[in-house]
Amino acid sequence: MPTYEYQCTTCNYQFEEFQKITDKPLKKCPKCGNNLKRLISPGAGFIFKGTGFYITDYKRKNNSTDKENESKSNKQT
């Protein structure tokens, strides 16, 4: 199971979270509730390539497509 490293963009709080590859990434800082960014550290001892990376990439593409469609339809109306 991979370890994901997160950092808060507001208070810079850093922590690691064990998650399944299929779990959704965390978005809220547990300390201040603001936005998190997920760090990918090269020395973590596991590799992000392969199926896990593929699934993450696939999810992101789906999400961004949804958002693009929403914003486009909003602009048109």
Tell me: does residue 32 bind Zn ion (CB under 5 A): yes
Query: Which residue's entry shows tokens 């490293």?
Result: 5
- Rg from Cα positions in the chain: 15
Of the CA atoms within 13 Å of residue 52, those in its CB half-sphere come to: 13
Tell me: does residue 31 bind Zn ion (CB under 5 A): yes
Tell me: does residue 11 bind Zn ion (CB under 5 A): yes
Chain Cα centroid distance, residue 32: 18
- Of 37-76, binders to Zn ion (CB under 5 A) are none
Among positions 7, 13, 21, 26, the unique one binding Zn ion when judged by CB under 5 A = 13
Tell me: does residue 29 bind Zn ion (CB under 5 A): yes
Q: In sequence order, which ranges of 3-50 are alpha helices (DSSP H)?
A: none
Enumerate binding residues for Zn ion (CB under 5 A): 8, 10-11, 13, 29, 31-32, 34
